[in-house]
Amino acid sequence: MAVAVSDPGEDTGRSSVAGDALFRPVRAGNAFEETVSRLLQTIRLGIVAPGEALPAERELASRFSVSRDTVRDAIRSLADAGYLVSRRGRYGGTFVVDELPARSAGAAIEGLAPTAPPTAEQIDDILGLREILEVGAARAAAARSLSAEEREALWTRLGETAGASIADYRRLDSRLHLTIGELAGAPSLVPLIADNRMRVNELLENIPLLQPNIEHSNQQHEAIVIAILTGDGARAASAMQEHLEGSAALLRGFLV
């Protein structure tokens, strides 16, 4: 879930499990590339939403376990690609732009190599892993005794997705699915879902957004959320499975 930052010049605590999962140390050896990738994940998955501020450079450097120069270079590259903007003054900082650029803008980031289109086998791997992770997450979330705050957050994410514009739909859809992952109660599950969701979104960007599919997805989302809130694990898992199978069918139809 996105976390508002009142003063980007100060270090901030992040209560979001998804945020904690993405603001974690990057792997050594490719610090710049990993930092760019992680920042893109936080933006594209809506952890830091359009118009919100990134944490301060020193906090990012500490969370990613990289130098401030690496963070600065990554931020500059993402600003050049149209994802971030810097503002000065008392409430200045680095902010996500209000309207995200087309995904092809990522290819313009200096130092990042272009990726080849996925094969049929890779698509099957991405979608198979998604089913394993997200069906299990829905079942686990329904089995937990959720707090009032958790229940409200889930219902809010459902409403945001249902009311989303075409431009915002995939970002808010991602936030809803990540919230379900958070509510499963296993923090180590969240980075797996987030990484997989990024790969799923890369596939989705290659197919059109179809209005009937959006309407059907919103109905399925509601069924999933209601099943979780009523503690019906079997129904939550079944509704999530049906939802993912619909997305998989479209992806395979357009891409395979």
Give the model confidence (pLDDT) of 210-236 as tens digits.
888 899 999 999 999 999 999 999 999
**CB of 97 closer than 8 Å to CB of 230:** no
Tell me what pLDDT residue 115 has.
65
89 pLDDT higher than 60: yes
Across the chain, mean pLDDT equals 86
CA angle, residues 65, 63, 173, in degrees to nearest 5: 125
pLDDT bracket for residue 122 (50, 70, 90):
very high
128 vs 109, residue with greater confidence:
128
Residue among 66, 65, 63, 39 at smallest CA distance from 52: 39
As assigned by CATH, the class of the 120-255 domain is mainly alpha
Domain residue spans in the chain?
17-108, 120-255
Average pLDDT over residues 64-73: 91
Tell me what pLDDT residue 10 has.
39
Tell me what pLDDT residue 15 has.
42
Give the model confidence (pLDDT) of 241-256 as tens digits.
999 999 999 898 888 7
Average pLDDT over residues 3-9: 35
Tell me what pLDDT residue 17 has.
60
Average pLDDT over residues 100-114: 62
Average pLDDT over residues 51-68: 92
CATH number 3.30.2320.50 given to 17-108: no
Rounded distance, CA 161 to CA 158, Å?
5
Tell me what pLDDT residue 41 has.
81
129 vs 213, residue with greater confidence:
129
Tell me what pLDDT residue 109 has.
65
Rg for the chain, CA atoms, rounded: 18
Cβ-proximal residues to 246 (8 Å cutoff; 6+ apart), any chain: 213, 216, 217, 220
Tell me what pLDDT residue 103 has.
60
pLDDT bracket for residue 183 (50, 70, 90):
very high
Residue among 192, 193, 166 at smallest CA distance from 177: 193
